[in-house]
Amino acid sequence: MTVKYNAYQGEPGAFSDAACQQFAPDLVPLPCATFDRVFQAVSSGEAEAAMVPVENAIAGRVDDVYRLLPDMPMSIVAEHFLPIEMQLMTLPGADPEKLRVVRSHPMALGQCRTMINRRGLLAETAGDTAGFAKALSQSKEMDAAAIAPAVAAERYGLEIIERDVQDIDRNFTRFFTLMLEDKVAWPDLLAGPVITSIVYRVRNIPAALFKSLGGFATNSVNMIKLESYQEDATFRATRFQAEFEGHPDEPPVRRALEELGYFSSDMRLLGVFPAAAYRASQSLSN
């Protein structure tokens, strides 16, 4: 039987590893050092899919993913929401009162500022959460701590000295499953709620962005996300990534995209994928 892999950024025990195992159990997680390597693994056929984090409820978007995604020959096929619980861990026997530094991925550090400030720790960035947990386990740094998932402490023999150190309890990270475009089919129009993701550049005319969005308002298409990216050092070339509810074959969505086309120099469809059940649960709780 051919083994199929799901590429993710980080070491075994990272949150992305947990997302692979929870949301794609039929694929074997393939750890990669960088997001570039993740995308390369899928592009080359080494991996069937990729599991990448795109935004966190506290720390915001993952810039490295959004920088790479628009130019990759891949499509978003699914979204997932993973509960994030951060643990503060040290080498066994370390004195919690003598800690000097804490290391983790920048997104993880940004989610735990309250604890870091309360303990007066120096925050230093590392490649990923589990990666520094592994590095700490191989060191003799009794004055250093890592922020990582509980499974990383178990895997690398570290001691959790404070649990659930994230700033808020309702902390989720949104992940995308990505596959090569030629392997992807859109969900059926009647299959249920879907999200459409696009990336586009506006034409260099006055009020182009405002006009490009007008069709979504007039056709009652609910836009749920709009991000901008500067593409060069001049700060004049801007690319926008947008997500909205609905299928491109639905007449209101089709009309909105046609109007957007009048005011954009190019547009690419990043994905049409089922809306995660988490969205419905949040709507009911609000």
- What is the model's pLDDT at position 5? 95
How much of the chain, in percent, has pLDDT values that exceed 90?
70
- What is the model's pLDDT at position 283? 53
What CATH code would you report for 194-285? Answer: 3.30.70.260
Domain boundaries in the chain?
A: 5-84+171-183, 87-162, 194-285
227 — pLDDT class (breaks 50, 70, 90): confident
Q: Given a cut of 80, is residue 1 above it in pLDDT?
A: no
pLDDT digits (tens, 9 = 90+) for 140-160: 999 999 999 999 999 999 999
Q: Given a cut of 60, is residue 273 above it in pLDDT?
A: yes
238 — pLDDT class (breaks 50, 70, 90): confident
DSSP per-residue string spanning the chain: ----EEEEES-TTSHHHHHHHHH-TTSEEEEESSHHHHHHHHHTTS-SEEEEEEEETTTEE-HHHHHHGGGSSEEEEEEEEEE---EEEESTT--GGG--EEEE-HHHHHT-HHHHHHHTPEEEE-S-HHHHHHHHHTS--TTEEEEE-HHHHHHHT-EEEE---SS-SS-EEEEEEEEEGGG--PPPTTSS-EEEEEEEEE-SSTTHHHHHHHHHHHTT--EEEEEEEE-STTS--EEEEEEEES-TTSHHHHHHHHHHHHTEEEEEEEEEEEPPHHHHHHHHH-
How much of the chain, in percent, has pLDDT values that exceed 70?
95
Domains 5-84+171-183 and 87-162 share a fold: yes
235 — pLDDT class (breaks 50, 70, 90): low
pLDDT digits (tens, 9 = 90+) for 7-19: 999 999 999 999 9
- What is the model's pLDDT at position 280? 72
Find out if CATH 3.40.190.10 is the number for domain 87-162: yes
Catalytic residue IDs:
173, 175
What CATH code would you report for 5-84+171-183? Answer: 3.40.190.10
pLDDT digits (tens, 9 = 90+) for 32-84: 999 999 999 999 999 999 999 999 887 888 888 888 888 889 999 999 999 99
